[in-house]
Amino acid sequence: MYEVHRVREDFPVLKEVIYLDNAATTQTPVPVVEAMNEYFFRYAGNYGRGAHRLTRETTNRFEDSREAVARLLEAQPENIVFTRNTTESINMVAYGIEWEKGDHIVTTRIEHHSNLLPWMRLRKKGVSVTIVSPDASGVVPAGNVEAALTGNTRLVAVTQISNVFGSLQDVSAMSEAAHNVGAALLVDAAQSVGHMPVSVKELGCDFLAASGHKGLLGPQGTGLLYIKEPESLEPVYLGGGTVHSVTGDGYKLERPPARFEAGTPNIPGVIGMGRAVKYVIDAGITNIEQHVTSLARSTALRLREIPGVEVYGPEDRHGIVPFNVGTLNPHDVAMILDETRKICVRSGHHCAIPSIDFLGVEGTVRASFAMYSTAEEADLLVETVEQIARTLA
């Protein structure tokens, strides 16, 4: 049985607040912070630049993190590139592909702005973009994505779990459909990696982008990009660490993933993310998924029973519960929850305005759960929302 109260000891802030804003960022466990402190205090050197002992230790620890991420995703280490966040990872694909006028991209209306705006901007280069709508629960039918494909489609870009609805998409079916017309598939896994098992082999994706600071419990400013065929993508940045040789006539790039990691990286952040990945693996990714989805689904069902409360998303949601209370502004509800019970939730459009427009509301209150969330915290959320709703009756 998953022992949530044992892992909570590694997250001191949870003694002060009820933290239910995990879709925005999770808390970072003590062992991860200690790993980053160890870098600064015991062996701080630059990555891959030098032969002395501190640089060697730094490089080894950095590559240990790459190995950990690769193991989690069932990928090869050379296919994992470290970035600053999911947003940078997606933009590296958007600007690393050599687009031609007439190319076509398929994406969806439930995307975070980070997986929508880079593709929309390519319209300036003559690339057409089709945006597929979801059903009422926030699920995009794979058949609708398939119907949008053409002979000119180069890429399908889709989130695995919506940060607004908490809905899980059938990415594997979308991947098969995309490959049938010769298109590649990019997965925005910001809300899935660390919260559920994610295998690039099973998904059949060509690119996968994720953050270090969400389900992976790592520090902010860290992210990853999986590239199935690194030679198919041009590096967006060039400079130190990316080249094997340089002459007055040109240069020869390093082998992947080095060619995609220009300049000094966020070394302590990546080392911390690697330690966080090991923390997640040790906890058991299947255990985490069962715990988080159980909390979210039971909370959504109970909130739906409260008169005046509107809950969005599918019944089989994954970790995210968006709702509104009567005519109250979502920000006001969030402030009341914080000021009365120290319950921290997100409110607004969640960097996904098309999704919110699809719902026909100005925004939502979003409660999102993580591996350290408890049934008692969910109970208090429901109880407090019921009290707020009762004042409007």
Could you give the residue numbers annotated as active site? 351
Query: Could you tell me which of 123, 124, 140 has the C-alpha nearest to residue 132?
Result: 140
Distance CA(93)–CA(98), nearest Å, equals 10
Distance CA 310, CA 313 (A): 10
d(CA 322, CA 164): 7
3-state secondary structure of 226: strand
Give rounded-to-5 percent helix, strand, coil for the chain. 45, 20, 40
Give the end-to-end CA distance of the chain in Å, rounded to a whole number.
Answer: 41
CA-to-CA separations, 140 to 137, 227, 326, in angstroms, rounded: 9, 24, 27
Of 1, 32, 26, 31, nearest to 14 by C-alpha is 26
331 contact partners, CB below 8 Å, separation of at least 6 = 347, 348, 363
